[in-house]
Structure 1
Amino acid sequence: MAARNAGTGAPHIDFDAARSLMVDDQVRPIEVDDPRILAAMRTLPRERCAPDAERQFAYADRTLPLTEGRYLLQPMIAARLTQAAGIVNEERILVVAAGTGYLAALASHLGGRVIAVESDPDLCAVGEAFTSDVAPGVVWRHGPLESGGAADAPFDLILIDGGVQEIPGFCVAQLAPGGRVVGLLSRDGGASSAFVAELDRSAPKGSAANGGRPIISHGESAWAIRLQFDAPAPLLRELLPKPVFSF
């Protein structure tokens, strides 16, 4: 699959073959059976979402660094997270921390109307160039992650492209009735699990939610959370809980 370019020592990779192998060896064996996801992952040139130094590993079973504190999730996590989201055609989707655009493009190929928010201008530029070619329906917003996508709300799905320790506060106001938040939740800063969360405004603060650990938003609303699968995920620093000072 990889050979050396004569005179340079740089690896020459057949990315088309690597992409197909990724789906067959990494994605299908972990019970990703949505044909839309499999077809999209065979098509999307993931190597364009990786930095030059990491491009040869674009289809390896690993999470790749993009810049300080930001990562391109490994293929199997991206696939399972997208499948857990259960994207329906024409849903309004906010992808938070969209990075270089791979997850946003994947959601768009599944029929979502995607708004991608990214705080890093360099990542945003790469992502916008990528999706303009492969998923032109994706609309990019450059701004702080903790603000979400207020100007484009409400959303049927808020998809977080990275790890969090709690559901961001903006999700309460920006989620449409019956909508859901999907991402990777770190339990006490340790292991993380994919989750699907729905607002339960009727639940008393601090109550248990569907047998999972309750995550309480700002105010009195609670989240009913379903944990899906364990997955290593670096935390998004911008979405870490703010320190609480007491006197």
Structure 2
Amino acid sequence: MTIDFRQLRENMVEQQVRPWEVVDMRVLETLNAVPREAFVPEAQRAHAYADTALPLGGGEFMMKPVIEGRTLQALLPQAHERVLEIGAGSGYLAACLARLSAHVTSLEIDGDLASRARENLTANGSNNVDVIEADAMSWKTDKTFDVVCVSGAVNDLPAHFQEWLAPTGRLFVIQGQSPVMEAVVRHADGKTDSMFETDLPYLRGAAPAPTFKF
């Protein structure tokens, strides 16, 4: 049976993402344009547009479409802006960010995922994305970015993530402890906007320290 991915993509936008208060037209057009099925493992392709997180291997997951939509709307990258993504995964969110911005630098700690993300992005024609195999907890750069998108949860935001922001930049992150985490946008001037509550797997090295129970 042939799957009509285009119809599934339209259904995802209209029945999942838009009802979750994602109304920005540039974001909706991006989600309608980027073929999500091309960024999921072959075994998961039939579920590419389901309202669920999808396993990518190596303990990594692709966020639900509604979370991706809310993330893009919270950041609203502009055509002249440069983006840093922490956690490339399969490359899907980087492809969406790339359609909205001038350039995306995407960090991925898992070498296999980084290679797969590069392949997926190249096949999609996303030629304004650089995927770097690196641990964001120790990565160093002199560059700053207009937008920083953290694609995994953190218990506490590492201070150097904020330092990557340009003077008028903004950073999206989901932080706190499962099962209730808060998605926030942090601005370079210290202002913080609360966006929504959700639950997401932690970035490697960003989970809370284990507690001992007696």
TM-score by length of 2: 0.89
Aligned match of 1:239 in 183, 187, 206?
Answer: 206
Structure 2 equivalent of residue 140 of structure 1: 131
Whole-angstrom CA distance in 1 between matches of 2:203 and 2:161: 16
Once residues 200 and 44 of structure 2 are traced to their aligned partners in structure 1, the CA distance between those partners, rounded to angstroms, is 18
- The 5-angstrom pairing of residues 34-183 of structure 1 reads 34-134=24-124, 135-148=126-139, 150-151=140-141, 153-183=143-173
Residues in 2 aligned to 1:180 and 1:231: alpha-carbon distance in whole angstroms: 20
Residues 53-108 of structure 1 deviation map (CA, whole Å, 9 limit, x = unaligned)? 22111100001111233110010100011100121222111000111111111111
SS in 2 for 1:71: strand
Aligned to 2:170, the other structure's residue is in SS state strand
Answer whether contact 1:165 1:240 (CA < 8 A) is retained.
yes
- Which letter maps to 2:66? M
Give the secondary structure class of the aligned counterpart of 1:234: coil
**How far apart, in 2, do the equivalents of 1:77 and 1:112 lie?**
22
Q: 1:90 to 1:242 in 2, by over 3 A?
A: farther
- Following superposition, the deviation at residue 240 of structure 1 comes to 2.8
Tell me if structure 2 keeps the 8 A contact 1:191–1:231: yes
CA RMSD of aligned residues (A): 1.9
Identity of aligned residues (%): 34
Shift of 1:179: 1.5
**Which residue of 185, 194, 198 corresponds with 1:227?**
194
Amino acid paired to 1:99: G
- Gapped regions of structure 2 (runs ≥ 5): none
Cα offsets for 1:110-145 (capped at 9, x unmatched): 124110111111111111112123311111111112
Distance in 1, matches of 2:15 and 2:142, equals 38
1:34 maps to amino acid: D
Does the aligned pair in 2 maintain the 1:96–1:161 contact within 8 Å?
A: yes
- Work out whether residues 61 and 75 of structure 1, in 8 Å CA contact, stay in contact via their aligned partners in 2: yes
Cα distance in 1 between the residues matched to 2:35 and 2:205: 28
| Paired position in structure 2 for 1:7 | none
Letter paired with 1:136: N
TM-score normalized with structure 1 length: 0.78
Pick aligned residue for 1:198 from 184, 187, 195:
187
SS state of the match for residue 181, structure 1? Answer: strand
Q: Which runs of 5+ in 1 are unaligned?
A: 4-11, 201-222
Structure 1 residue 238 displacement after superposition: 2.9
Aligned length: 209
Contact 1:69 1:236 in 2 (8 A): no
Contact kept in structure 2, 1:70 and 1:236, CA below 8 Å: no
Distance 1:113 1:64, change over 3 A: same
Moved segments of 4+, more than 2 Å: 237-243
SS in 2 for 1:226: strand
The one-letter amino acid paired with 1:184 is: I
